[in-house]
Structure 1
Amino acid sequence: MHTDDLVWQASNFGGLAPRRVDLLLEHGHLELVIQAAAERGEWSCAEGAVEELCRAGEFGRALEVMEPFVATGWPTALWAKADIMLRSGRPQEALELVRTDATGETSKSKCHDFAGLLAKAGRIDEAVDLLAPNIDGWWTLSVLVEITEGQNRDERVLELIAPHADSARHARGESRWNHPFSNAQELQAQVLERAGRTDEAIRILGQDIAADQYLTQNTLTAYARLLARHGRLDELRELATGQNTHTVLDIYAGALRDHGRAEEAETVMREAIAADDWVGYRAWLSSALLQDGRLDDAIAVAEPGFGWYDCSNLLVPLAYQLLGRPEELMQLVEHTSVVPHHDHEEFQHGWRALALAGLGRVDEAIALTEADPRPWTDPRIVKADLLSTAGQFDAAAAELRALGTIEAREELCEVLIRQGHAAEAIAIHPTAAEQRAAKPKPEPVTLAENGYSLEPPF
């Protein structure tokens, strides 16, 4: 186990990926996950095991799992150990463990992490004192607001935010679009709201919006959501008109639904579509109708966008919401407007195949994917996935065993876990070293004197 290997694992979800670790834990295989962390140096296994052990109050065992990773000198593991100590009621030891790493010449993120650790340890004033002199942009300001949530320090936080919020208000008029505190106004409103000063938050941020004294769309949506949370629907309706309609009409319609006024929300959005057939309106309404179990109506709203070329294609959001509902997915893909178009034929084939497999018609599903002239991955892995979807785990496992590639072994691991063969699943899964060795190495690129490539892509 080396730091370089662990960094690669963390960056590439190498080794047993987090979702496979979660699957093992869901099936009750904590001891096997601990063993994989120790014997294979699996970082995701260590993280998953530590979380499970801490939830059970077994902090000593959690530290044992983490110790070999800490011994490599990897800072991420050191901070993970500190978190275990903090959760076990040893805040002073946790802080001392990472204090030098955090307060010496280090990255801003480490400073933020240490402030967060101080806050969790109950030393909130020290945390604020650490951040206050270093508030040089939106990131640190956001961390300050986050770590002081529920800590009874809102007045001090507001004092620290105020000059940055005021500066941001004037930045637009001065054409300073790259202002470092573009989020200060919405953070100010957030802290006012949590301090119980909601009317003040609405008044101040509302004045900024009305006067166009803000920099980003996020500030506008933050104001709209503030109004929605507190039932200020008349003000929200007024905001959702004119130049702001594309940005906040969905928030207004959502607020109407939250207040039991779903029919009114539907009317609002249908009227918007009639006046301005914008894709965002159709996307929101089709999704809302689907949530209400009205698939036919959802399809009718989204249908005009089924043939669009760009990423606004309205077929995709509906299909993704139906991937676990094969009968309804089949109804969608068999709609007359759903035809192969613009080099996206593979999506239609894939969705239809999944629907068929989910309905138990696995032979038809496999035949469909095998007929696809442009499979999106190894067709044998696709076949195994369809067999798994149909519940034919033995056949899926046999297909993947015969293939034996790195990717096939990764997929086989999941099949074996679901079959109840967890130990074999871990043993057959490729190690992080195998995965890393199998990654294609980038071709060397000739660079110009300015450092840019002389070959496409530039």
Structure 2
Amino acid sequence: MNIDDLSWQAANYGGLSPRKVTLLLEHGHLNLVIQAAEERGEWFCAEHAVQELCRSGEFGQALEVMEPFVATGWRTALWAKAEILLRAGRMDEALDLVRPDEEGRASQIVCRNVAELLAKAGCVDEAIGLLVPHIGESWIRTVLVQITEGKDRDERVLELIAPHAEAARRSRDEGRWDYSRSDAQELQAQVLERADRADEAIRILGEVIAGRRFLSENTLTAYAELLARHGRLDELRELATGQDAHTLLHIYAGALRDHGQDREAETVMREAVAADDWVGYRSWLSSVLLQDGRLDDAITVAEPGFSGYDCSNLLAPLVYPLLDRPAELLHLLDHPLTVPHHGHEDFQHWWRAFALAGLGRAEEAIAVVEAHPDPWTDPRVIRAGLLSAAGRLSDAAVELQGIGTIKAREELFEVLVRQGQATEAITAHPTVAEQRAAKAHTETIPLREDGYSAEPPF
């Protein structure tokens, strides 16, 4: 275990990824997670084990799990140890571990991390003091607002943010775009709202919006959402149906639904589609219809967007919510209006195979993949995945064990855990060193003109 390996794991979700560790914990294998952290240097196992141990008050064991990672000198592990000490009520030890020296105070990241810990320990004023020298940074202002919520420091926060909000307004008056202050106005409103001064927040942001004295679309959205939260629907309707309708109409329609006016919300959006057939209106309406169980209506609304490019293509947003509802997914794919374009043709075959497997029709699913093999994956691994999705775990395990590649062993892990063979699953899973070596090899493989590998398995 060393800093380089640990940093690689954190950056690449390497080793046993958070999702896999969660699967082990869901099946009651905390001891195996602890063992993997100790024996394999698995960072995500250590991180999740510590969370579970702290949750049950076993702080001593949590420290034991984390200590080997701290010993490497990796600062992320040091912060995790400080968090354990804090949760154990050992505040002074936690803070002594991470309080910055003069060099550390010059680092925005160090000050952010220490400030978060100080705020949790109740040392709110000290936390604010660490952030003040860096308050000109947008993300530091966001951290300031976050760590002071519920800490009775709203007036102090407003004092610190107000000059930046005013600078944003002034820059627009002068025809400048000072993006370093673009968040200040909405943060100011956020703090006013949580201080039970919502009317003041609405008044201040309303003046900013009316005079177009804001720097970011996020400020416009924040104002609309503020109106929605406080039931100011008349003002929201006037705002959302004006020049910023593309940005705000969905917020107004959503507010109508929140107030039990589903039919009115649908009417608003259908009228918008009729007047201005913008893909964003269709996207919102089709998603809402799908949420309401009206799949055929959702398809009809979204169909003109099935031929769009990238984010304007409306097929995928209908598919993804249905991945765990295979019968409805198959209905969507078989619908006469569902004719995918621009990058979705290949995906449609995978979606169909996935739906068939979810219905237990594994052989039909495999036939689809074999007839339309994806060029960027190993069809053998896909076949095993379909068997697993169809509930045929033993067959899937045999397939994956026969392949033996890094990818196959990663997929085998979940199958074995679901079969009740968690120890074998961890043993079969590639080590961090194996994963890093495979990734390094992949990065050196020459590519064809179309971007795919020039070497098997393509």
Give the TM-score normalised by structure 2. Answer: 0.95
Looking at structure 2, the residues matched to 204 and 233 of structure 1 have their Cα atoms a distance apart, in angstroms, of 18
CA contact (8 A) 1:82 1:94 kept: yes
Deviation of the 1:110 alpha carbon: 1.3
CA contact (8 A) 2:306 2:341 kept: no
Stretch deviating more after TM superposition (13-22 or 298-307): 298-307
1:60-113 CA-to-partner distances (Å, cap 9, x unmatched) read 111000000000000000000000001110111101001137962663111111
Looking at structure 1, the residues matched to 312 and 153 of structure 2 have their Cα atoms a distance apart, in angstroms, of 44
CA contact (8 A) 1:103 1:111 kept: no
CA contact (8 A) 1:346 1:375 kept: no
Looking at structure 2, the residues matched to 142 and 410 of structure 1 have their Cα atoms a distance apart, in angstroms, of 38
CA contact (8 A) 2:34 2:49 kept: yes
CA contact (8 A) 1:53 1:62 kept: yes
Looking at structure 2, the residues matched to 49 and 13 of structure 1 have their Cα atoms a distance apart, in angstroms, of 16
CA contact (8 A) 2:387 2:396 kept: yes
Deviation of the 1:313 alpha carbon: 0.8
Name the residue aligned to 2:126: 126
1:369-404 CA-to-partner distances (Å, cap 9, x unmatched) read 011143441101111111111000000000000000
Looking at structure 1, the residues matched to 308 and 160 of structure 2 have their Cα atoms a distance apart, in angstroms, of 48
Task: Decide whether aligned partners of structure 1 residues 373 and 134 sit closer, same or farther in structure 2, where only a CA change above 3 A counts.
Answer: closer
Instruction: Report matched runs for 1:39-438 at 5 Å.
Output: 39-100=39-100, 104=104, 107-438=107-438
Task: Decide whether aligned partners of structure 1 residues 102 and 297 sit closer, same or farther in structure 2, where only a CA change above 3 A counts.
Answer: farther
Looking at structure 1, the residues matched to 101 and 254 of structure 2 have their Cα atoms a distance apart, in angstroms, of 45
Looking at structure 2, the residues matched to 312 and 99 of structure 1 have their Cα atoms a distance apart, in angstroms, of 48
Looking at structure 1, the residues matched to 122 and 32 of structure 2 have their Cα atoms a distance apart, in angstroms, of 35
- The CA RMSD over aligned residues, in Å, is 1.5
Looking at structure 2, the residues matched to 398 and 145 of structure 1 have their Cα atoms a distance apart, in angstroms, of 53
CA contact (8 A) 2:105 2:111 kept: no
CA contact (8 A) 1:289 1:298 kept: yes
2:243 partner SS: helix
CA contact (8 A) 2:100 2:110 kept: no
Looking at structure 2, the residues matched to 366 and 64 of structure 1 have their Cα atoms a distance apart, in angstroms, of 47
Task: Decide whether aligned partners of structure 1 residues 444 and 387 sit closer, same or farther in structure 2, where only a CA change above 3 A counts.
Answer: closer
2:80 partner SS: helix
One-letter code of the match for 1:27?
H
Unpaired stretches in structure 2, ≥5 consecutive residues: 447-458
Deviation of the 1:170 alpha carbon: 1.6
Deviation of the 1:178 alpha carbon: 3.9
CA contact (8 A) 1:307 1:338 kept: no
Deviation of the 1:338 alpha carbon: 2.3
Deviation of the 1:310 alpha carbon: 3.4
1:397 partner SS: helix
Looking at structure 2, the residues matched to 107 and 372 of structure 1 have their Cα atoms a distance apart, in angstroms, of 53
Looking at structure 1, the residues matched to 309 and 33 of structure 2 have their Cα atoms a distance apart, in angstroms, of 45
One-letter code of the match for 2:150?
G
Looking at structure 2, the residues matched to 373 and 122 of structure 1 have their Cα atoms a distance apart, in angstroms, of 57
Deviation of the 1:431 alpha carbon: 0.5
One-letter code of the match for 1:155?
E
CA contact (8 A) 1:306 1:337 kept: no
One-letter code of the match for 2:261?
R
Looking at structure 1, the residues matched to 125 and 105 of structure 2 have their Cα atoms a distance apart, in angstroms, of 22
Query: How many residues are matched?
Result: 445
One-letter code of the match for 1:165?
A
Unpaired stretches in structure 1, ≥5 consecutive residues: 446-458
Looking at structure 2, the residues matched to 341 and 217 of structure 1 have their Cα atoms a distance apart, in angstroms, of 31
2:189 partner SS: helix
Looking at structure 2, the residues matched to 377 and 444 of structure 1 have their Cα atoms a distance apart, in angstroms, of 15
Give the TM-score normalised by structure 1. Answer: 0.95
1:271-324 CA-to-partner distances (Å, cap 9, x unmatched) read 000000111111111111111111111111111111223331111100001000
Looking at structure 1, the residues matched to 226 and 339 of structure 2 have their Cα atoms a distance apart, in angstroms, of 42
Deviation of the 1:140 alpha carbon: 1.1
Name the residue aligned to 2:450: none
One-letter code of the match for 1:427?
T
Looking at structure 1, the residues matched to 429 and 370 of structure 2 have their Cα atoms a distance apart, in angstroms, of 26
1:104 partner SS: helix
Looking at structure 2, the residues matched to 210 and 82 of structure 1 have their Cα atoms a distance apart, in angstroms, of 47
One-letter code of the match for 2:55?
R
CA contact (8 A) 1:224 1:251 kept: yes
Task: Decide whether aligned partners of structure 1 residues 41 and 358 sit closer, same or farther in structure 2, where only a CA change above 3 A counts.
Answer: same
CA contact (8 A) 1:16 1:45 kept: yes
Deviation of the 1:443 alpha carbon: 5.1
2:244 partner SS: helix
Looking at structure 1, the residues matched to 209 and 376 of structure 2 have their Cα atoms a distance apart, in angstroms, of 47
Name the residue aligned to 1:450: none
1:175-206 CA-to-partner distances (Å, cap 9, x unmatched) read 43243111000000000000000100000000
One-letter code of the match for 2:218?
N
Deviation of the 1:360 alpha carbon: 1.3
Looking at structure 1, the residues matched to 396 and 310 of structure 2 have their Cα atoms a distance apart, in angstroms, of 35
